[in-house]
Amino acid sequence: MLKKIIAAGFFAGVLVTFFLLLSDISTSIEQARPAPVEVVEDRPVLQAKRKIQGIAVTAVDPTSAGRSLFTRRCLGCHTSAKGHPNRTGPNLWNIVDKAKGQAPKYRYSMQLKLLGGVWSEDELNRFIAGPRSVIPDTKMTFKGIKIEKQRLAIIEYLKTLKD
């Protein structure tokens, strides 16, 4: 019986390691080949201009690009619909301008709890770029998204997740 438990634990560890390695490989490939962004200047309705950390962003419907990026990069650990349960990471419904470390029934790292403040667009941008560079002891093992246009698109999508 003990051998079966040890074997199951070992298998689970190998499986987790495999998926983390696979995630790192896909992240490296994706960062090497950034997706082209179409810019439309003559349609002000579809145009979104924002300044985050002094960078102007113009893209066609950034929320759909952000939703797609969120689905590929974040949905494995986070949920985004109102009332959905936490996963490995907390539910991100209404996260923009929300107090840090406040998702119900989620156990945050002590350093995040002590950090305080709110998840402003600038804070989210820095955190998504490299969670461990902002909070070294965070439970989030994600390496981050280095391409700023992708981070800004995800933030635009996160801003739509509210009542």
- Give the pLDDT confidence score for residue 151 in this predicted structure: 94
Q: At CB < 8 A and 24+ separation, what contacts does 39-45 make?
A: none
Model pLDDT for residues 38-81, shown as the tens digit of each residue = 444 444 433 444 444 444 444 456 678 899 999 999 999 999 99
pLDDT (average), residues 99-105? 89
Most confident among 6-10, 46-50, 91-95, 114-118 (mean pLDDT): 91-95
**Model confidence at 137: pLDDT above 80:** yes
What pLDDT is stored for residue 60 in this prediction?
A: 55
For the domain made up of 34-159, give the CATH fold: Cytochrome Bc1 Complex; Chain D, domain 2 (1.10.760)
| pLDDT at position 32 over 70 | no
Domain boundaries, the chain: 34-159
* Residue 84: HSE in the Cβ half-sphere, 13 Å Cα cutoff: 16
Is the backbone of residue 115 left (phi > 0), alpha (psi -120 to 50) or beta?
alpha
DSSP characters over 60-112: E-HHHHHHHHHHHHTTTT---STTPPP-SS---TT-TTPBTT--TT----HHH
Mean pLDDT of 17-22: 70
Is the Cβ–Cβ distance between 118 and 137 less than 8 Å? no
The predicted structure's pLDDT at residue 139 = 84
